[in-house]
Amino acid sequence: MLLFLSATAALLLQVELAPITLSCSICVCTGDIINCRGIGLTTMPHIPSSFGSFHRLDLSNNSIGTLHSHVFRGLNQLRDLDVSDNQLTNIDRHAFADISNITRLSIASNQLTSLPDALNDLSALEALDVTDNPIPPDSHDGFKNDIMRHLGSKLKEFHFGHAIITTWPQSTNHLQALEILDLNGGNIGYIPPFFTDGFQSRLRSLTIRNTNLPTTPVLTGLRSLKELHLDNNQFHDYGVLENSFRGLDALETLSLNSDKLTKFPQILHHLPNLVSVSLDGNSFYYISDNAITLIHGTNITELSLRDCNLDRVPGALTGNTLYQLTKIDLSNNNINSIERYDLDGLHNIRNLSISNNPLQYVSSHALNLTSLQFLDLSNTKLTTVPRAIENIPNLRALDLGDNEIDCTCDLIWFQKLVNPQHATLDLNGSCETIDRTVLQYLAQFIPKCPDYYRSLSNPTK
């Protein structure tokens, strides 16, 4: 009897551990994509041959611990595989043998302690993400020389980073086709000047974020670099070195977010083709005229100053100094008013965000911005629609969402401006005083106001 029970228990255990069969009833199949994200998988499902025509498989956000050899048999048309956010500790040597032609692979956010040897079976891989795996930086046991050399002729995009990384992995020099490089996370305090050897002339986008770097790395020679993101590092003002940026004549986008800066970096004036600058998350408090001078005369058209502890619209933005700006983001600051002359002179501004500020007052004489098309005033302390909207003749979109707008007959002027029957303004926002959107209130209730028809005969009212 005991033997029978033991055999039964063993049989039940085998049945319990048997992998489920992949199907469109447990996953979502759309076009050539199989989405099995976050469905509670603990092992890889069995893949029937009927799934051979799918191009993308998303197994992210599950609890898969191992990828066994030939586990993807049947997916011979697969090009994109995502097994990020699992509990992978092991990938067998020939796990990818049947999908050797995939071009994109993400094994980010797992527990892998080295680049898996299974990568040697991938001959067409162009994008690899191994971020947030405890892979040490050495080229023998971590970022292995032989694997990086094998990937180097095809790989165009590489993402990595973890707290265990304290030095730059020299084996990245084998990635001769690399165009996009992203280091996200690491206790690295120094990046050697040779870190782009092997792909220096090809690199188009570089991201180095969430590190202990006290100074910007040497970037000279990256003559094809168009995007540079150096965010959440330990630079402070003195760590943004002008010599680091010499020769970046192709650079168009730069972010120095959350780098403990208190003033605009001098390098802005030395990047001739720079178009977009983001300095979010730094504590500027006050922006001087000298800071704005660094932008004047450049090609910079987009400026982001989100979450910079600003308590007013910077006065240095006023006037004709920054006439070239087309987009400004001042959201997530401490601005509580927009005064009459704030932002005057920005004749080419088309997109302006002052969302997520404690904004309570907007002067009716403010916002004389003839080119403005998109205005975001969401999540502020406004209780009525600012009359300054009348000063924006080409406004196409206005976001008043997450405000406590008091919808009353005082909005007759706004109804005439919006004209709900032939609306050209994309308006977002809801009334606090009635369960309607502002647009619905204008259409349904404003025509019932006592002075409505009198205002139609007197358009100046």
Q: Find the mean pLDDT for residues 251-270.
A: 94
- 406: phi then psi, degrees, rounded to nearest 5: -85, 100
pLDDT tens for 45-68 read: 988 888 889 999 999 999 999 999
Alpha-carbon gap, residue 413 to 82, rounded angstroms: 53
Task: Please check the confidence at residue 275 and state whether its pLDDT lies above 80.
Answer: yes
- 56 falls within a domain: no
Confidence tier at 332 by pLDDT (50, 70, 90):
very high
Q: Residue 217 has what DSSP assignment?
A: P
Q: Identify whether the C-beta of residue 52 lies closer than 8 Å to the C-beta of residue 79.
A: no
In a shared domain, residues 314 and 296: no
| Residue 7: pLDDT over 80 | no
Q: In terms of Cα–Cα distance, which of 165, 282, 262, 255 is closest to 212?
A: 165
Provide the residue range defining the domain that includes 334. 310-404
CATH number for the domain spanning 332: value is 3.80.10.10
Are 144 and 120 spatial neighbours (Cβ–Cβ below 8 Å)? no
% of the chain at pLDDT higher than 90: 78
On whether both 298 and 218 belong to a single domain, the answer is yes
Amino acid at 20: I
* Domain final residue, candidates 302, 335, 358: 302
Token reading at 395: 């406004």
* pLDDT beyond 90 at 10: no
The pLDDT tens digits of the residues spanning 115-130 come to 999 999 999 999 999 9
Q: Is residue 376 part of a domain?
A: yes
Domain closes at, from 274, 302, 330: 302
Kindly report which listed range (4-18, 119-133, 164-178) carries the lowest average pLDDT score.
Answer: 4-18
Average pLDDT of the chain is 91
pLDDT > 70 in the chain, percent: 93
* DSSP of 218-272: P-TT-TT--EEEEES-S-TGGGS-GGGGTT-TT--EEE-TTS--SS--GGGGG-T
Is the predicted pLDDT of residue 139 greater than 60, yes or no? yes
Do both 277 and 317 map to the same domain?
Answer: no
Give 380's DSSP letter: S
Which domain-ending residue is among 277, 302, 327?
302
Tell me if 94 sits within 8 A of 71, measured CB to CB: no
SS3 428: strand
Q: Does 381 map to a domain? A: yes
For residue 442, being part of any structural domain is answered with: no
Q: Give phi and psi for 369, each to the nearest 5.
A: -120, 95
Q: Is the pLDDT of residue 16 over 80?
A: no
pLDDT of residue 323: 82
Q: Is 196 a residue whose pLDDT tops 90?
A: yes
Same domain for 297 and 346, yes or no, is: no
Distance of CA 43 to the CA centre of its chain: 31
pLDDT band at 456 (very low <50, low <70, confident <90, very high): low
Residues 278 and 336 in one domain: no
- Residue at 66 is within a domain: no
69 in a structural domain: no
Confidence grade of residue 314 (pLDDT, cut at 50, 70, 90): confident
- In this structure, the answer to whether residues 298 and 329 fall within a common structural domain is no
Q: How many domains does the chain have?
A: 2
Does residue 122 form part of some domain? no
DSSP state at residue 20: P
* Model pTM score: 0.91
Same domain, 264 and 281: yes
Does the residue 58 lie in any domain?
Answer: no
Burial (CB count <10 Å: 0-12, 13-18, 19+), residue 154:
middle
Asked if 274 and 314 sit in the same domain, the reply is: no
